[in-house]
A and B are shown apart, each in its own frame.
Chain A
Amino acid sequence: MHAQLVQPSSDFVEFVVQVALTFFTALLLNSYWALQLPALYGFVRMSASQIPQMTKGQFIRGACIGLISCFDSAGRALALNSLPGSLFVIFSSSDMAFNYLLSKTFLKKQFTW
């Protein structure tokens, strides 16, 4: 199996992880923008007076969220296709531990024993 890791990348998903349509699944998971974007536009236009203009920092943070979501979606699709459902659920629940660490690091939230 490890010998197959040197295979060309196009065959990596199929032969190593034995997953089909991984990125396609991830792409589908994020294809709802076609529905949400018009709804968001309408909502923003309807209550434009109450919504402040998006700042540059907010724009960067939103873009970072989207970029991180790429890794999230890809990794999720990869794990979902390569792991049994129950195992995937259990390991993907590790985000709670990461969330704790990141919240304490960046948001300075107090989590003390």
Chain B
Amino acid sequence: MHPVLYRWHLAGVLVATSGISLVALDNSGDNSDCTPEYGCLDDYAPGIIAALVSGLANAGKMVMAHSLLLGSPNRTTVKVRVAEISTWNCLVPSLLLWIPLLATREQQQYLDVLGPISNSDAHTLFVLLCVGLALGKMVDRLTKYGMVRLKGALFASMVDAIKKVLTAIVSIFALGETWSWSRGVSLALVFIAMGLYSYGSYVKAKASKATRKAAKEAELANADGPGGLDSRDSAGTGPIADADDPDAVLPVGFTPRMLEAAVAGTSDADWMLRVPAQPRPNMRSYSFDDLSYAKRVQDFNAASGGGAARTPAQHWLGHSLSPMGSLYGGKVYNPKDQGGAVSGVGGAAAPMLELPSLSRTSSRGSDRRKAPRGTYAVESSPVPDAGDPGSDAEDVQPPGPRRGRSSPGGRRRRRRSNDSGAGVWSGALSAMGMGGDLEEVGSSSETDSMDSDDGMPTRRNRAQSGDSAIVSPGSVDGRPATATAAAVGISGVRVRGRRSGERLEESDLSPDVEQRGAPPMALALGRDFTERVESAAAQFTVNDSSASALSTLTVESDMRGSRSGSRLR
């Protein structure tokens, strides 16, 4: 807290203290009016000492009560503590004060003060006075400690001073006490002290509120700040404001310093474009379902030369994919965090996988509700495959019941899948008649081409990340599946995951896929390319450091199972 916020509190204390000192130093009026009843000011010394001791004891009592109330966990407990303190405050003196009373034989003065017992009116008045005094004191202390609870010990003392000042005013004007300028000034100073303290509390509360508001705004700014998807997108495509122009509108999450670093080309510029290590819960969602993002990425790549002379598939799958894609590298995928990489056998229903850039379906639409928890499978398309006929796929299918196969043309109910993403490859390749042997993968020199991700998240990733951000592109199975799906989808291979071996219907085809249907993948890119894709995917799956051994083994198992369940139709 800034020191200036407390100066009013201290000023109030000093003003009140100076008022006391002023009265103590001024004895002119009282010395001239020494009365037999009250004596002179010099005779007040014991009373003044007693008052100071009382003030010290009262302060110590309130500070101790404050410390006791600070540890209360809830409001009810605080109320009880206040009552307990007030009870302690009266019970112990009621027991202990009998000792000095009896020691001084003060009880013998009772009749001397109140007169003979025959004067019942005086005694009745005294009893009523005692009862009123006790009740008033009870209310006084309860409110005092309630004030300690609310505002602290010092503020309670200040409020208590008001009561005392009112008592003094009553004493002076109603009971005819001797008036002096020092008393009047000191009383005024006590009022001023109260005002100063209250103003200090007001300033303090106002500053505290402003601090909380600023902290909240800073937190919100950080949520959309460096490394966030919005800033990344803005950096890639948005307008770049002039760092020297204070009125320039910066992209979301950018600060002038970051912009300067970006312009200067320092390492900070690199840093600010990176993806955060972990998604923040309040991170703004970003939809990749529109085609504009893909177009922007392509434009960016084209502008940077990275995407020149590439086919669309190569554009997505090529080594170091793109400058934009390289920004997403290094993300480690934890299958357990993504909920379901530890999969069952390959015959399980495969979830839907849809390349975001090729889909016009809203992520918040019905497909989103069907977002799978499992991994992906890319299935063969009902579009007649112009590649190698499905004999290869049939060859690798093990004997036994063909699970997931229904009557031709029948619509299947989609199931959530625990299928491994490795089945994606076998299914996709089987669809193209290129059922590759997984034991061969990993030997290709092209496997490194999958180390970089295109940054295009799968629907599953978006769904499982709570629609928070694209932060998990490095999925063991999802990433290569996405990339392959992007490539294969061009040739008419349906990208949506589905139960392996499941027959697809034309109505299930994405319009985009249908529009882009030809030419087939195998013809467009050649078998060699497909093998490279498969090799890269398997290599990625096996080499991913974040996957556990169990999930890796399961992935391999699912590869076989899913591959065997694939069909070429």
Q: Which residues of A contact B (CB under 8 A)?
A: 1, 9-10, 12-14, 16-18, 20-24, 26-33, 35-37, 39-40, 43-44, 47, 50-52, 54, 58, 61-76, 78-79, 81-103, 106-107, 109-113
Contact = CB atoms under 8 A, between A and B. Distances in A.
Contacts of B89: 30, 65-66, 69
A71 B49 CA distance: 12
Nearest to A83: B47
Interface string B143-179: 0000000001110011011001101111110010110
B22 to A, nearest CB: 9
A103 B13 CA distance: 13
Contacts of A66: 88-93
A81 to B, nearest CB: 8
Nearest to A22: B106
A112 B187 CA distance: 25
Main DSSP-derived SS at the B contact region: helix
Interface stretch (B63-71, B227-235, B481-489): B63-71
Nearest to A11: B104
Given A35-B134, A72-B54, A103-B63, A113 B165 contact: no
Nearest to B164: A89
Contacts of B177: 84-86
Contacts, number: 322
Contacts of A99: 59, 62-63, 153-154, 157
A20 B112 contact: yes
A1 to B, nearest CB: 7
Contacts of B175: 85
28 contacts: A23-B100, A27-B98, A29-B93, A29-B133, A30-B90, A30-B93, A31-B90, A36-B90, A40-B87, A43-B79, A52-B77, A54-B84, A63-B88, A66-B92, A68-B60, A72-B57, A76-B50, A76-B58, A85-B168, A85-B175, A89-B165, A93-B161, A94-B56, A98-B59, A99-B154, A106-B67, A112-B3, A113-B6
Contacts of A86: 168-169, 171-172, 177, 183, 187
Q: Of B12, B56, B79, B112, which is in contact with the most chain A CB atoms at under 10 Å from its CB?
A: B56
A31 B103 CA distance: 19
A22 B391 CA distance: 113
B113 A21 contact: yes
Nearest to A55: B71
A1 B103 CA distance: 22
A109 B152 CA distance: 10
Nearest to B59: A98
Nearest to B171: A85
B13 A100 contact: yes
A110 B157 contact: no
A36 to B, nearest CB: 5
B77 A23 contact: no
B130 A28 contact: yes
Contacts of B50: 74-76, 78-79, 82
Q: Of A14, A21, A94, A96, which is in contact with the most chain B CB atoms at under 10 Å from its CB?
A: A96
Nearest to B38: A84
Interface residues of B, number: 104
Contacts of B31: none
B20 A90 contact: yes
A75 B51 CA distance: 6
B86 A68 contact: no
Nearest to B54: A75
A36 B86 contact: yes
Q: Of B38, B94, B133, B168, which is in contact with the most chain A CB atoms at under 10 Å from its CB?
A: B94
A92 B88 contact: no
Contacts of B46: 16-17, 78, 82
B7 A113 contact: yes
Contact of A27 (B76, B94, B104, B168): B94
A41 B172 CA distance: 41
Interface in B312-340: none
Contacts of A47: 76, 80
Contacts of A26: 93, 97
A32 B135 contact: yes
Nearest to A81: B47
Contacts of B77: 50-52
Given A62-B88, A72-B61, A90-B168, A79 B54 contact: yes
Nearest to B70: A107
Contacts of A90: 19-20, 23, 164, 168, 183, 186-187, 190
Nearest to A85: B171
B125 interface: no
A70 B92 contact: yes
Q: Of B20, B86, B165, which is in contact with the most chain A CB atoms at under 10 Å from its CB?
A: B20
